[in-house]
C-alpha cells in the first residue's frame, strides 16, 4: 500500500490528539479529587494538592448515599434487564421466528428515541391522575426509576447480546443431545459457556448506563426522595461542585477499569489456552 510514511504519521498524530481530547477531562476528574479546596469549597480551578478529600470520602455526605441509591437501582434494574434482554436475544438469534423483525424494531426504537422524550412519556404514564390506568396511584420514587432503567437497559442488553451471539454454532447443542446429554446438562455445559461472555459484557455496560443516567431519572424520580448520584451532582453543580463528587467518581471509574482489564486479560488467557 502506498500512502504509508507521511500518511501514517499524520494518522498517528490525529489519533494521539483524539485520545488527548478524550482523556483530558477524565484525567482532570482524577486530579481534582486531590484538589485542595477545603470541605465546602467549589472544586473548579486548581488550588493545590491534598489527600483530605479522600480522607473524608464517605463522611456524612449526600453523595455517598446518592451513589448507594444509584448502585441499588442499577443492581435491580440491570439484573432484570439482563435476564429479560438476554432471553429476547437468544430467541432472536437461536430460532427462526416470524415477527423477529418486529421485535428487532421494538428493541432499536428506544435507542433512536431521545432520552428526553422517553423521560417525558414515562412522566405522563406515572403522572398522578393517570390517563390510562385510571386511579392507579404510581408513587414516583425508587420503583418508577427501576422500571424506567430496566426499560432502556433491556433494549441495550438485548441488542448487545444478540450482536455477540451472531455466528455462534448452535448445532453444538444438537450434537450434545445426540450424544445423550440431558437438556439441562447441555444448557449448563454448552449453551451457558457459549453465551455468558456476551451477557456479562452487556450487564456491565448496562450498569454503566444506569448509574450515569440523569435525563430519564429526572422525570421519573419525583422530588428529592430518590436522589441518584447524577441527580445529586447536577442539583449541586449549578451552585457548587464539591470535591467529594470527584473522589466517588474516581473510585467508580477505577473499579470499572479494573473490571474491564481483568476481564480482557482473563478472556485473552482463556483464548490463548484454547487456541
Partner 1 sequence: MADAENRSLRKARVVPYALSFPGMLWMFLFFVVPLVTLLRIALSYKPDPFHPQTVFNWQWSNFGTAFSKYGGPLVRGFVYAGIATLLCVLISYPIAYFIAFRAGAWKNLLLGLVMVPFFTSFLLRTIAWKTLLADHGVVLGALRNLHLTGLLGHLGVLESGRLLNTDSAVIGGLTYNFLPFALLPIYVSLEKIDLRLMDAAADLYSPFARSFRKVILPLSLPGVFAGTLLTFIPATGDFINVTLLGNPTTAVIGNKVQQEFLVNSNYPTAAAISLVLMLIISTMVLVYAKFLGTEDLA
**Residues 36-65, interacting with partner 1 (CB under 8 A):** 44-45
Q: Which of 57, 145, 203, 246 binds partner 1 (CB under 8 A)?
A: 246
CA 224 to chain centre: 23
Told to check if 224 binds partner 1 by CB under 8 A, we report: no
Told to check if 134 binds partner 1 by CB under 8 A, we report: no
Identify the CA nearest to 187 among candidates 179, 176, 178, 198.
176
User: Is the Cβ of residue 122 or residue 190 nearer to partner 1 in the bound state?
Assistant: 122
Stretches 57-65, 135-143, 183-191, 212-220: which one binds partner 1 (CB under 8 A)?
212-220
CB 161 within 8 A of CB 195: yes
Q: How far is 275 from 269, CA to CA, in rounded Å?
A: 10
Cell numbers for 183, please give them.
Answer: 437438556
Q: How far is 96 from 90, CA to CA, in rounded Å?
A: 11
Stretches 47-55, 71-79, 92-100, 182-190: which one binds partner 1 (CB under 8 A)?
92-100
Q: How far is 65 from 228, CA to CA, in rounded Å?
A: 8
> Mutual orientation of helices 100-111 and 62-94 as an angle, nearest 10°?
160
Told to check if 272 binds partner 1 by CB under 8 A, we report: no
Identify the CA nearest to 160 among candidates 213, 192, 201.
201
Environment class of residue 228 by beta-carbon count within 10 Å: exposed (0-12), middle (13-18) or buried (19+)? buried
CA-based radius of gyration for the chain = 23
Smallest distance, partner 1 to C-beta of residue 94, A? 7
Told to check if 238 binds partner 1 by CB under 8 A, we report: yes
Told to check if 109 binds partner 1 by CB under 8 A, we report: yes
Smallest distance, partner 1 to C-beta of residue 69, A? 15
Q: Which of residues 169-198 bind partner 1 (CB under 8 A)?
A: none
Told to check if 260 binds partner 1 by CB under 8 A, we report: yes
Stretches 50-58, 71-79, 116-124, 185-193: which one binds partner 1 (CB under 8 A)?
116-124
Stretches 47-55, 58-66, 83-91, 181-189: which one binds partner 1 (CB under 8 A)?
83-91
Q: Which of 90, 145, 176, 247 binds partner 1 (CB under 8 A)?
A: 90
Phi then psi for residue 35, to 5 deg, are -75, 135
Amino acid at each position: 500500500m502506498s500512502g504509508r510514511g507521511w500518511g501514517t504519521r499524520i494518522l498517528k498524530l490525529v489519533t494521539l490528539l483524539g485520545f488527548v481530547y478524550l482523556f483530558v477531562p477524565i484525567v482532570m476528574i482524577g486530579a481534582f479529587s486531590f484538589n485542595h479546596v477545603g470541605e465546602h469549597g467549589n472544586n473548579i480551578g486548581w488550588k493545590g494538592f491534598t489527600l483530605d478529600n479522600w480522607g473524608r470520602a464517605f463522611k456524612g455526605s449526600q453523595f455517598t448515599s446518592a451513589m448507594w441509591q444509584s448502585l441499588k437501582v442499577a443492581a435491580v434494574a440491570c439484573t432484570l434487564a439482563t435476564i429479560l434482554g438476554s432471553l429476547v436475544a437468544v430467541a432472536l438469534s437461536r430460532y427462526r421466528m416470524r415477527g423477529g423483525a418486529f421485535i428487532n424494531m421494538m428493541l432499536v426504537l428506544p435507542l433512536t428515541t431521545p432520552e428526553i422524550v422517553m423521560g417525558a412519556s414515562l412522566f405522563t404514564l406515572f403522572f398522578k391522575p393517570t390517563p390510562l390506568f385510571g386511579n392507579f396511584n404510581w408513587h414516583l420514587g425508587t420503583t418508577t426509576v427501576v422500571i424506567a432503567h430496566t426499560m432502556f437497559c433491556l433494549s441495550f442488553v438485548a441488542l448487545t447480546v444478540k450482536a455477540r451471539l451472531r455466528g455462534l454454532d448452535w448445532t453444538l447443542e444438537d450434537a450434545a443431545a445426540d450424544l445423550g446429554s440431558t437438556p439441562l446438562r447441555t444448557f449448563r455445559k454448552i449453551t451457558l459457556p457459549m453465551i455468558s461472555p456476551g451477557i456479562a459484557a452487556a450487564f456491565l455496560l448496562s450498569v454503566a448506563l444506569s448509574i450515569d443516567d440523569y435525563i430519564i431519572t429526572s422525570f421519573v424520580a419525583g422530588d428529592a426522595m430518590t436522589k441518584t448520584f447524577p441527580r445529586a451532582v447536577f442539583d449541586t453543580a449549578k451552585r457548587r461542585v464539591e470535591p467529594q463528587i470527584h473522589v466517588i467518581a474516581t473510585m467508580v471509574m477505577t473499579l470499572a477499569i479494573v473490571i474491564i482489564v481483568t476481564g480482557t486479560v482473563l478472556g485473552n488467557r482463556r483464548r490463548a489456552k484454547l487456541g
